[in-house]
Amino acid sequence: KNEVEQSPQNLTAQEGEFITINCSYSVGISALHWLQQHPGGGIVSLFMLSSGKKKHGRLIATINIQEKHSSLHITASHPRDSAVYICAAPQGAQKLVFGQGTRLTINP
Amino acid sequence: ETGVTQTPRHLVMGMTNKKSLKCEQHLGHNAMYWYKQSAKKPLELMFVYNFKEQTENNSVPSRFSPECPNSSHLFLHLHTLQPEDSALYLCASSQVLRETQYFGPGTRLLVL
């Protein structure tokens, strides 16, 4: 069992829909990362959060440290949001443990 | 553009070849990382360098040999690879350990 689990693994939605991707982790962490990987491989760091909620444009990330759970929400989804979304938890001082990713497809 | 570049972007090599992957960051960061992403598997950390010193080797086979001559450059030397080493190899950097990492575009490697 991976220490970082994401759900769903695949998600297809229509443009404009509200999207939620979930991440559960079993390691004790101080912060959780959300990353976006576009076709072709490039990865962009979206958020690093240790409590509460962070918002950037149409993206919102929340975390509940007690429940070891985080969610990534996308409001008013758009086809350009189609990507793989990955959560990652630090393990020790320098290692990140990654979830398997959620492949999101937004259809026009 | 994240400020982290990788070359080459694509590489095909035979099992007896020797090649090197290069990563350069223009962000003034002090920590650099090599990751491997195989098909249908999560990203795996391979190596971490902090202020040019290797601080993590995640049980990587010796046919992968990293080199960090300075804080801006990171190499991954490859020799006698196996077909199962075919993957996307990603470099990342961060200001210091545990901070946000910035990723390069990756090198897609195919070992024949």
Report which secondary-structure segment, H or E, holds B10.
strand B10-13
Reading the block at residue A103, the tokens are 């492949």
Structure tokens given for A20: 């939620």
The per-residue pLDDT for A107 is 97
Place of tokens 């795996």: B44
Neighbours of B18 (CB within 10 A): 12
H or E segment and range at residue B32: strand B31-37
* Residue B112 confidence (pLDDT): 93
Judge if the upstream peptide bond of residue B83 is cis by omega within 30 degrees of 0. no
Q: Give the mean pLDDT of B76-93.
A: 95
Q: Do A42 and B108 make contact, defined as CB atoms within 8 angstroms?
A: no
Q: Which of A17, A79, A81 is nearest to A46 (CA)?
A: A81
Q: Kindly state the DSSP code that residue B84 receives in the 8-state scheme.
A: G
Residue B46: per-residue pLDDT: 94
Average pLDDT over residues A85-99: 86
pLDDT at B39 over 70: yes
B→A contacts (Cβ < 8 Å), by residue, are 2, 31, 37, 41-45, 48, 50, 55-56, 58, 88, 90, 92, 97-106, 108
Question: Mean pLDDT across chain B, nearest whole number?
Answer: 92
Residue type, B16: T
Range with the poorest average pLDDT among A75-84, A93-102, B33-42: A93-102
Q: Where do the DSSP E strands lie in chain A?
A: 4-7, 10-14, 19-25, 32-37, 43-49, 52-56, 59-64, 69-74, 83-91, 95-98, 102-107
Q: Are A91 and A27 in contact (CB under 8 A)?
A: yes
Q: Closest to B108 (Cβ–Cβ): which among A41, A44, A96?
A: A41
Beta carbons of A2 and B100 less than 8 Å apart: no
Closest residue of chain B to A36, computed from CA coordinates: B103
Mean pLDDT of B3-10: 96
Q: Are B57 and B65 in contact (CB under 8 A)?
A: no
Rounded to an integer, the average pLDDT of A20-48 is 88
